[in-house]
């Protein structure tokens, strides 16, 4: 999920983005695709499985696709 405009203006850093990027083997978080908050909610409704963790960080919401889109 992408940050809301006010959080972008504040320069809010999101540790979950960096951790996911490293786990995927990307050299930077720019390789991740960010989607607007309400679009994320709509896409999440169509997911095969939802995994809830105890991660309380801001913007720790992620949709991971397997295979070719």
State the Cα–Cα distance between residues 21 and 1, nearest whole angstrom. Answer: 14
pTM for this model (two decimals):
0.59
Q: Could you read off the pLDDT of 3-61 as tens digits, one per residue? A: 889 988 998 877 777 777 788 787 766 666 788 889 988 988 888 877 777 777 777 77
CA dihedral (58, 19, 32, 51) positive or negative: negative
Give the number of residues written for the chain: 69
Q: Pick from 66, 58, 65, 68: which is nearest to 1 by CA? A: 58
State the Cα–Cα distance between residues 11 and 25, nearest whole angstrom. Answer: 24
Give phi and psi for 66, each to the nearest 5: -110, 135
């Amino acid at each position: 999920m992408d940050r809301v405009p006010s959080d972008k203006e504040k320069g809010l850093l999101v540790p979950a983005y960096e951790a996911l990027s490293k786990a995927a083997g990307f050299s930077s978080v720019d390789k991740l695709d960010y989607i607007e908050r309400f679009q994320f909610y709509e896409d999440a409704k169509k997911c095969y499985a939802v995994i809830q963790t105890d991660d309380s960080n801001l913007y720790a919401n992620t949709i991971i696709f397997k295979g070719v889109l």
